[in-house]
Amino acid sequence: MTHIELAQGLHVIIGGHFPKCNTLVILDDEVVVIDPGCSIEDLRAFLMTQNLNLNDIGTVILSHIHPDHITHAVRLNRLSRCRIAANDITAPLFNDKEKMKNFLGFHRANPVRPLWENLVNSKMFGALEEGRIDEELHNGDKFALGNNTLRMVYTPGHLPDHMCIEILESNLVFGADIDLDLEFGPFYGHPNSSISDFKDSIRRLQHNDYNGLISGHLQTPVIEDYKTALAAYQRHIGMREDLVLAEIMNGAGTIAEITLRAIIYPSLTDPVFLQFETWMIEHHVASLLQRGLIEEKKKRYVAL
């Protein structure tokens, strides 16, 4: 179990890369857990070092609806009767997992849906269990805990419901899936993800002067020079779009043909990740069409 103390009462348990995530634990007037996607054993072990256990958790806060960020929320609610808080977009999706699946693009007619469900149930078991949000949060809402105050910041793009969480006294921000993974880059692999919104959210974080950004997935989670890292992170979007345009110029005229070039994921042998790649390529093609760099002729994309 690896955890880091960021400030008095503020800890991060390292979950790391998908299908886990980094989990914040705040020990204050109550025990608050943000994005319970780390190993449940690691969370329990950390709490034991503080003479606490899972039953002592008072509140779970969710940054967005992705399964790796909500994995243990329902289980913790059953164990401790803790309240679960999420923003007003996430809440109805958490309350109705069929709505969640549709929101993520895995509607009943999507042939990849059973494979995605198997992935979630095998790697993020509990994320699809039925539960209820007890408190809805909104952009700008503050969550006072005693020595720590949290403020919700909507940052859509990754998903429409994505939000970051500022820790005001420490002047830190939990970036969730604006994770600054400079090896992979931003993820916008759902039909309702948005490249333009993602860029706007990155710029919003760049305009704020934090002491650091806490990544939802990096093994070294706190990035002090986050403004430089955000600029490099965003450049992945432009580089991918250049590669998509190059493939179209080289004769790839359909989404399927472009996707098979494996521009984003190094391997597309898994149908679920092939689906994610397809959706991301669709966003780039839409962007290129909007920019007037390509057009569609006879159901094929051609460069202008």
Phi-psi label, residue 171: left if phi above 0, alpha if psi -120 to 50, beta otherwise? left
Q: Report, as an integer, the average pLDDT of 273-290.
A: 98
pLDDT in tens, 48-90: 999 999 999 999 999 999 999 999 999 999 999 999 999 999 9
pLDDT for 19 beyond 70:
yes
Decide: 229 and 182 in contact? Cβ < 8 Å.
yes
pLDDT for 240 beyond 90:
yes
Q: Report, as an integer, the average pLDDT of 258-263.
A: 94
User: Model-level pTM greater than 0.95?
Assistant: yes
Work out the percent of the chain whose per-residue pLDDT is above 70: 100
Q: Are strands 83-87 and 135-137 parallel, antiparallel or unpaired?
A: parallel
Q: Which two tokens stand for residue 227?
A: 């403004």
Determine the Cα–Cα distance for residues 23 and 174; give it in Å rounded to an integer. 10
Determine the Cα–Cα distance for residues 230 and 182; give it in Å rounded to an integer. 9
pLDDT of residue 17: 96
pLDDT of residue 260: 92
Of 268, 287, 284, nearest to 276 by C-alpha is 268
User: At residue 17, what are phi and psi to the nearest 5 degrees?
Assistant: -70, 160
pLDDT band per the 50, 70, 90 thresholds, residue 1: low
pLDDT in tens, 130-169: 999 999 999 999 999 999 999 999 999 999 999 999 999 9
pLDDT band per the 50, 70, 90 thresholds, residue 267: confident
pLDDT of residue 159: 98
- All domains of the chain in start order, with CATH: 3-231 (3.60.15.10), 236-299 (no CATH)
Of 260, 251, 264, nearest to 301 by C-alpha is 251
Q: What does pLDDT average to over the chain?
A: 97
pLDDT in tens, 198-220: 999 999 999 999 999 999 999 99
For residue 99, the SS3 value is helix
